[in-house]
Structure 1
């Protein structure tokens, strides 16, 4: 998990070599989830954290994915650690095409929080550069020790899975109980990085797991246990299976592969129409960082009355950043009310968040 190259005395030299090598490292395109957008400029302060690797006196930690950036900043609270999200605001964290400045940010950081092999190809290439050039940026793999589930039966058979979890679904963090293992992994990495603050890291970690992740788990459980229906239709890519596995509900994605930019086949639309009609579904979920065209097609061609937002916590909107939202707030304000509505627990007008229905009904 924390496989840093050990020699601090060679830090400056090795990082200069790696910076030179890294200028061409991330020019290639990426596979996997995309947000219908592209960033050629890696804006590592777009998450609203501000600052740069040179600001402050504490160690700098950079993260390759929003969810784990959020966990990390909560664990680092009240310590000198500076935690930064590398993925720009508005982009999906699984598929993104950064430029060489992001590799430079990783090389200059004291630690790099990443999601494990073969999930973000740009991160894999950056890690290889660190190892090839003996750069001592500490590597913290959030997926270490997490039990992954098999890919959904509805998944495109061409999909292969990720890394050591071949034929496995990588989106484990949607299950708040599995997410706790990643919190532990980050905590251990931070203890190695700044042992003088071990007590604070561990206290923050335990508080986050019990007060946030366990609470989210209970709230999700209450929502799904109260539902008469056990099928959710999503106009989104195949990222929500872990919620289905944890709470005993069938999450049916319209895009049946792991790529958020994946094409919707006519057969997928036909299957979705059948599910909607068989289960008397009036509301569906649509992914915030994906195209709304599939949701709009179902709206036009089925009895569905509206779609509402879901997200696998893979990115943030600018207004979410301004409000300081993290994993917890997105669960509470986006996913939970949508699941209440699409399961038929309550009509959208009765969601207990002021203006929620007006803002999110058939959102653009």
Structure 2
């Protein structure tokens, strides 16, 4: 891989010098373990970018399309990006990359630790904060206040990318970082970013607005964690998460089930959403103990299934083929049999 920066002009330590000296990674047993063993993928013709979260990996690869930049997602297929706790080897991949796209502080503790290692050891991997300049909304009053590390000052919801308009700012932030990394491809990078914002994010925004405007009901019950408040805030709907903290691994309390039952009964809810990468036990309990007939998938774009990877699904495809059909169904806009693509209801009704 060719580093596009001039080493003589950089105050930071190059990755190879960093490894030769051992430094902070030596304590983790990683010194001398980089190079091809990192499995970075792509070619050596241009810079490599790694991302700490699927959504921003997808944004970055769309911005970098038709340039020599290689973009990799650090979160393994099938795992949820919030709550994943990798071993120290992930820092090796970040050190070996030319740039690291992350979600900002206090959301992924492992990413925060890796960034601190880079700074402590003066490694010149470029840091790209996708959250820079984005206004976060306050956490819902129902949030479990004992949870740690969930947003700036622990008072704001970090899931901003679910709002397509805020996501556009993240695309801009990523584009700026990639332009700094590969200035000779500035025109392509900026054109790609503008095209993605207009053709994809503006279109998703309009489609969401149409879905929620058409609904007679404004309450959605989710057997999922508290990740959808930006959609609630943007489109004027009440998202009622069953798991009231921000972590997908959060426990469901008896009081959470009781509250969900009340919401279901008072709003005559027949269908609910369930998190794709979360346990289905609470959804099945509500199915057995309430008038709910079925649950359907929702995801905050925090992870991907193997079949999604095989079909090259990104943020756009997941919005179109997973979240939007479910919102249409749970709001009562569309019967399940008519939602989504051909076979959607059969694939996703009470999915395992």
TM-score, length of structure 2 as denominator length = 0.92
Unpaired runs of 5+ residues, structure 1, are 26-43
The residue correspondences of 1:82-101 to structure 2 (distance < 5 A) are 82-101=70-89
Gaps (5+ residues) in structure 2? 1-8, 31-35
Query: Do the aligned partners of 1:238 and 1:255 also contact (CA within 8 Å) in 2?
Result: yes
- Is the counterpart of residue 67 in structure 1 residue 55 in structure 2? yes
Q: Residue 71 of structure 2: SS of its match in structure 1?
A: strand
Deviations 1:42-88 (A, max 9, x none): xx99xxxx962683310000000000000000000010000000000
Of residues 17, 20, 23 in structure 1, which corresponds to 2:25? 20
CA–CA distance in 2 between the matches of 1:336 and 1:324?
18
State the distance in 1 between where 2:167 and 2:304 align. Answer: 18
User: Greater relative contact order (Cα 8 A, min sep 6): structure 1 or 2?
Assistant: 1
CA 1:294–1:207: 2 relative to 1, 3 Å:
same
Task: Describe the shift of the 1:195–1:349 C-alpha distance in structure 2 as closer, same or farther (beyond 3 A).
Answer: same
User: Equivalences for 1:280-319 in 2 at 5 Å?
Assistant: 280-319=268-307
Cα 1:235–1:201 change in 2 (3 A) is: same
Pair 1:53–1:14, CA change in 2 (3 A): farther
User: Which residue number in structure 2 is paired with residue 188 of structure 1?
Assistant: 176
- Sort the Cα spacing of 1:307 and 1:10 in 2 relative to 1 into closer, same or farther, 3 A: closer
Given the superposition, is the C-alpha separation of residues 330 and 22 from structure 1 closer, same or farther in structure 2, using an over 3 Å criterion?
farther
Following superposition, the deviation at residue 163 of structure 1 comes to 5.0
Q: Deviations over 1:140-187 (max 9, x none)?
A: 011110000000122123246645353000000000000111101100
CA distance in 1, matches of 2:44, 2:79: 27
8 Å CA contact retained: 2:13, 2:123? no
Deviations 1:9-39 (A, max 9, x none): 64421244257336269xxxxxxxxxxxxxx
The CA distance in 2 between the partners of 1:96 and 1:9, in whole Å, is 29
TM-score (norm 1): 0.89
Query: Counterpart in 1 of 2:33?
Result: none
Which one of 86, 90, 102 corresponds to residue 102 of structure 1? 90
Partner of 2:6: none
* CA apart distance, 1:260: 1.1
Please tell me whether residue 349 in structure 1 is matched to residue 337 in structure 2. Answer: yes
Residue 134 in structure 1 maps to residue 122 in structure 2:
yes
1:118 matches 2:101: no
Shift of 1:296: 0.3
Equivalent residue for 2:239, pick from 251, 273, 280 = 251
Pair 1:74–1:54, CA change in 2 (3 A)? closer
Per-residue deviation at 1:352?
4.2
For 2:23 and 2:70, the matched residues in 1 are separated by 22
In the alignment, is the contact (CA less than 8 A) between 1:281 and 1:304 conserved in 2?
yes
Counterpart of 2:252 in structure 1 is: 264
Q: Name 1:145's counterpart in structure 2.
A: 133
Partner SS, residue 106 of structure 2: coil
Please state if 1:235 is matched with 2:223: yes
Number of matched pairs: 339
In 1, Cα distance between equivalents of 2:153 and 2:138: 9
Q: Displacement of 1:110 after TM fit?
A: 0.2
Q: 2:189 aligns to what?
A: 201
Return closer, same or farther for 1:116/1:10 CA change in 2, 3 Å cut-off. Answer: same
Tell which deviates more after alignment, 116-125 or 295-304.
116-125
Q: Which of 4, 7, 10 pairs up with 1:6?
A: 10
Q: Which residue in the other structure is 2:319 paired with? A: 331
